[in-house]
């Protein structure tokens, strides 16, 4: 059976790059979108990926906010894995820098899918940020039935962006005829760690690891986070093309670790580096976070 082309939006990003790698290893034809195909930092690591027999890689420019470029990217594809979004916790202009790229960009992708008519399967990258409300009781279990519907632009712009974009996808999907609509699945990973494929990937969640390795802070804060390996996240996206329920919502989480456990693991792997392992009290970390640019308690979101 000949499989069609898979479009991966945000292919130069941390998750997107690993999704492309996974697909190419399976011998799939991949169309990978990047914002600037002339930027080596966005494309060189993609071009260096091994391609299994039968597979191919096409790199195209796409701007999420430009509906025409999105339409050109979607044209002729039978599957779409939409990972592209603004991955930022804070910004000076959160509406235009965080929310709009996710929401307007996702709407442009959905409109292009409708106009093209060839897309049979859509996998949308959401996040546990779309699941975790700003206020929730101690001991409350967060599930795929939970929504961050109290996220605000001022208090949690990233959560608002991921919540709004996923709702948009689900409303679009549920409004369609069951017999003819594309299969749709959302993947909701937590904090993603694992090997970067580009220096650009040292930002975002990986920046916390780099902060410890470079000893940019001399201590760790008493918080724990849900984590998952980026390669597992990529595998979940690719499997979601054909596995799981239509309209399924899947948490991708490996487990939880305290920051001090992460620091000790890094110290064990890099004994030559002065990785901080001293944990300060939470009350002190609240105060320090107001003045230290490398400490952001939203890490634990």
pLDDT digits (tens, 9 = 90+) for 208-222: 899 899 998 889 988
pLDDT at residue 140, rounded to an integer: 81
Percent of the chain beyond pLDDT 70?
96
Q: Is the pLDDT of residue 282 over 90?
A: no
Q: Is the pLDDT of residue 298 over 70?
A: no
Please write the tens of the pLDDT for every residue from 250-266: 999 999 999 999 999 99
Q: How far apart are CA 13 and CA 18, in angstroms?
A: 8
Percent of the chain beyond pLDDT 90?
81
> What are the angstrom distances between the C-alpha of 262 and each of 32, 210, 252, 256?
33, 12, 19, 10
Selecting among 162, 199, 267, 294, the annotated active-site residue is 162
Please write the tens of the pLDDT for every residue from 92-102: 999 999 999 99
Please write the tens of the pLDDT for every residue from 6-19: 999 999 999 999 99
Q: How far apart are CA 7 and CA 26, in angstroms?
A: 15
- Going by the DSSP 8-state scheme, the letter that residue 95 receives in this structure is I
- Going by the DSSP 8-state scheme, the letter that residue 220 receives in this structure is B
Please write the tens of the pLDDT for every residue from 238-253: 999 999 999 999 999 9
* Helix boundaries (H) for 117-213: 157-174, 206-213
Domains by residue range for the chain, with CATH: 5-195+226-256 (3.40.50.720)
Is residue 162 annotated as a catalytic residue, yes or no? Answer: yes
Higher pLDDT, 4 or 135: 4
Please write the tens of the pLDDT for every residue from 175-214: 999 999 999 999 999 999 999 999 999 988 888 899 899 9
129-134: long-range pairs with CB below 8 Å, 24+: 129/156, 129/158, 129/159, 129/162, 129/163, 129/301, 130/159, 130/162, 130/163, 130/165, 130/166, 130/188, 131/188, 131/251, 132/159, 132/301, 134/159
Q: Is the pLDDT of residue 270 over 80?
A: yes
Do 195 and 7 contact (CB within 8 A), yes or no?
no
Q: Is the pLDDT of residue 149 over 80?
A: yes
Q: How far apart are CA 35 and CA 80, in angstroms?
A: 17
- Residue 102 sits at φ, ψ, to 5 deg, of -75, -45
Q: Is the pLDDT of residue 111 over 50?
A: yes
pLDDT at residue 204, rounded to an integer: 83
Q: Is the pLDDT of residue 107 over 70?
A: yes
Q: Which of 37-46, 133-142, 193-202 has the lowest mean pLDDT?
A: 133-142
pLDDT at residue 136, rounded to an integer: 77
Q: How far apart are CA 214 and CA 125, in angstroms?
A: 30
pLDDT at residue 297, rounded to an integer: 59
Q: How far apart are CA 300 and CA 128, in angstroms?
A: 11
pLDDT at residue 118, rounded to an integer: 95
- Residue 201 sits at φ, ψ, to 5 deg, of -80, 0
**Which positions ≥6 away from 80 have C-beta within 8 Å?**
6, 7, 9, 74, 109, 113, 119, 121, 122, 123
Do 248 and 121 contact (CB within 8 A), yes or no?
no
pLDDT at residue 101, rounded to an integer: 95
Please write the tens of the pLDDT for every residue from 77-89: 999 999 999 888 8
Q: How far apart are CA 33 and CA 16, in angstroms?
A: 9
pLDDT at residue 296, rounded to an integer: 63
pLDDT at residue 289, rounded to an integer: 76
Q: Which of 107-116, 217-226, 262-271 has the lowest mean pLDDT?
A: 217-226
pLDDT at residue 301, rounded to an integer: 40
Residue 114, CA atoms < 13 Å, CB-side half-sphere: 13
């Amino acid at each position: 059976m000949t499989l069609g082309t898979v479009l991966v939006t945000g292919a130069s990003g941390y998750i997107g790059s690993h999704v492309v790698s996974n697909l190419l290893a399976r011998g799939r034809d991949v169309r990978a979108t990047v914002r600037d195909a002339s930027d080596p930092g966005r494309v060189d690591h993609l071009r260096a990926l091994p391609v299994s027999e039968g597979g191919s890689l096409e790199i195209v420019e796409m701007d999420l906010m430009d509906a025409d470029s999105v339409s050109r990217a979607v044209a002729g594809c039978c599957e779409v894995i939409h990972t592209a979004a603004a991955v930022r916790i804070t910004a000076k202009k959160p509406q235009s820098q965080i929310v709009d790229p996710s929401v307007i960009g996702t709407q442009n992708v959905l409109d292009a899918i409708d106009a093209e008519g060839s897309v049979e399967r859509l996998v949308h990258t959401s996040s546990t940020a779309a699941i975790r409300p700003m206020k929730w009781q101690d001991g409350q279990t967060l599930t795929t039935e939970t929504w961050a519907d109290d996220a605000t632009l001022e208090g949690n712009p990233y959560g608002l962006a991921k919540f709004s974009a996923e709702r948009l996808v689900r409303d679009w999907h549920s409004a369609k005829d069951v017999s003819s609509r594309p299969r749709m699945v959302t993947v909701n990973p937590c904090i993603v760690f694992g090997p970067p494929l580009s220096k650009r990937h040292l930002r975002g969640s990986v920046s916390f690891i780099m902060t410890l390795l470079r000893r940019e802070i001399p201590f760790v804060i008493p918080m724990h986070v849900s984590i998952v390996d980026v390669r597992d996240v990529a595998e979940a996206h690719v499997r979601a093309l054909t596995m799981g329920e239509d309209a399924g919502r899947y948490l991708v989480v490996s487990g939880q670790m305290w920051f001090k456990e992460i620091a000790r693991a890094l110290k064990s792997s890099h004994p030559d580096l002065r990785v901080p392992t001293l944990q300060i009290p939470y009350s002190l970390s609240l105060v320090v976070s107001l003045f230290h640019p490398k400490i952001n308690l939203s890490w634990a979101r």
